[in-house]
Structure 1
Amino acid sequence: MFMFTAFQTCGNIEWYYIGAISSNELKKKKNVFTCSMAIIYGVFSASNLIAPSVVAVIGPQLSMFFSGLVYSGYIAMFIHPYTWSFYTASVVVGIAAAILWTAQGNLLTINSTDATIGRNSGIFWALLQFSLFFGNMYIYFAWHGHVHISDKDRQTVFISLTVISLVGSFLFFLIQKPEPEATPSEASESLLQTESTESKALQLSVTKEMLLLSISIAYTGLELTFYSGVYGTCIGAMTQFGNDAKSLIGLSGIFIGLGEILGGGVFGMLNKCNRFGRNPVVLLGLITHFVAFYLIFLNIASDAPIAPEEGTHLQAYITPSVEVALLCSFLLGLGDSCFNTQLLSIVGFMFREDSAPAFAVFKFVQSITAALAFFYSNYLLLHWQLLIMVVVGFLGTLSFFVAEWVVVSSRRDTDYDNI
């Protein structure tokens, strides 16, 4: 929560920050924000091939700590950014992200049982998404009513975010180790098997279960790009929202966070009461997103994602409404939590014995589609971006249903064999 309060807030304001720098070589570069995010997620995707080996060698706890330090360095770079440091930091944080999320998935799995993996996934997701709430609340109040943000104000923000990120990195040392601990012989065996982790990840990537889940995972990558980078940009570009348009970027992040927190908390704490499995939650996520996409289509101008710094003057299909825009932010967060909590749960359940390689495949698929989405977001109008997510989201939901039925069938077969 602490670390991503810093990083997600950084990502949410990065587009506006770069465009508003008063004197810097970065300002002369077109599409530098989306290029950076495409680099991060592209490197993130490729680095998932080595991430399981790193986690196996130094353990998930140290993997998360050192990755957190890299995240802090990336945020600190914005205090005085330059082109070379900006793109270098984007590459390095992409590598760190692969290691961080592989370690996180591994830690979540080994600290859970089959009965608690769903609950723990929901609790984890809710706590993580508090970062959107706190970070964007700070941005909203700090920049409320400011048409132009001074260099001093921006530097103060990024110094604060760097400190917050460092606090989060050191808190990883408080994570409890699962019991029983591995014996020395088991630890040695783990090191000897490190060389096979990449091949294990490749083997898992072509299994029937992972191929089915890959479409859903790909959808989470597309909508991650949309709610974390594109939608805030669209709101900030709407001149019809007046002088508060830029501060609404932070307020939108708060409402996304509220949706994420509500979804993670409800679907996590009530997991044991859910007799119908994961499918109804995923279906709810799809319906929620479809409603949000339709309202965004009506409320936001089509050229908002690619509008110049001064914003768009095109009219949407309805009179632009701040209330509708923030409702869509909430729905985007709620729907995202539906998909991610259930994907974390089903991956941890299906691949318990190979959780690190499995979550590496998870993040590989998610990050490569996020990189693709950041790339095309530079060129496609809003309605085309929404259409892509509608198609992939529908197909991903159907494939998730099939994967869940595979889990249910295998569980019934196991129960029958036990009897």
Structure 2
Amino acid sequence: MKNDRRSVEPGELRRRAEEALRGETPARLPRTEDDPVRLLHELQVHQIELEIQNEELRHARNEMEAALEMYTDLYDFAPVGYATLDDAGIIRGINLTGASLLEVERSRLMGRPFAHFLAAENRSAFHAFLGRVMASQVKDVCEAPLVGNGKEPRIIQMEAVACTSGQECRVAILDVTERKSSEEEVRKLHADLERHANDLEIANMELEAFSHTVSHDLRNPLAVIDGYCQLIVHLCGDSLDEQCRGYLHQVDQGVKNMGELIDTLLNFSRLTHSKLCPETVDLSEMARSIAADLNKGHPDRRAAFRIEPGVRVQGDPKLLRVVLDNLLGNAWKYTGKKEDPVIEFGATEAAGKGRACFIRDNGPGFDIAHADLLFKPFERLPGSHEFQGFGLGLATVKRIIQVHGGRVWAEGELGKGATFYFTLD
């Protein structure tokens, strides 16, 4: 709306009227104030002034009607319902969105109690809410379900504030049905999670009891068996034939294998309760130390270790040592029949996974179709039973990496080696 159309100063109005009159009549000689022609001139000027003012009023009215139409559209088609209620909760005005929420034509809502559209058990709470709003003139919030009409009722949230008159209030109405449904789903998920956490705690307690049984009740009979085997060899060694000696050797080897399995199970179970003590860890230096131990412990063979320098991560050094012990130990074990074994350690950018450390070997590899068995406890890949192990090493690696918030995976091909990758959070 233009300012010169809303308000014209009297002097400006007179000037414009004079200019308009000069354009319509020929120039005249000056006359005295009581000259009839002068009076006619003044009447003509006033008439033109009125016409100018009427034109300004028409422009102002048209602009106000356009603005009113725009704001009416904004009010009616807003994504939020708006209503005006009196102090008794009677609907005095409502937009189309609000009428749609109540599922009643707007013209039929005027003069009806808003509480009529709420579930009966929530009407007293609504009137208390309305009383607070009218008394305090501060915005207040209330939630209530609408009448269901045979369907699942929708839940609305009302935000209201009293008008300055104190006789009415403005109410914004939002449909929060989906939000409340999502909150209920989250609540159920939290309850399920808490129940699973309790189940897990019970399972951990049972695992601890099992570990105690393994470490005491199983070790004792194994110690007895091993002791009697040694006693038989000591007392009757000269009188035993080769077959009997072979039997005793097998018993002794079985006892040792069982002891190793017990140690492996105990170490695996303890990972459940491991607490991280993170610090900066030089994995390259750790890998070099493990490689030196492997070469020293097996002087009959050598493997070419290619270790990338400067690979540092944040993690628990003791647990990460277990990871590299297992992965490098596996690579050492599975390249045992290669004439030129090569074992690599380094870091790379894995597509979609960020920076990942890897251990690669040129051993027998594996069929990628069986990759899901690699990290499962006690699972062995087809054809791998010729290699010693219990199937817990990679399961241990996976658990440690998960404790760090990372992930581990493997890639390989039969006859072309294998590569194990892991990331840390």
Normalization by structure 2: what TM-score? Answer: 0.21
Normalization by structure 1: what TM-score? Answer: 0.21
Higher relative contact order (CA 8 A, sep 6+): 1
Structure showing the higher strand proportion among its residues: 2
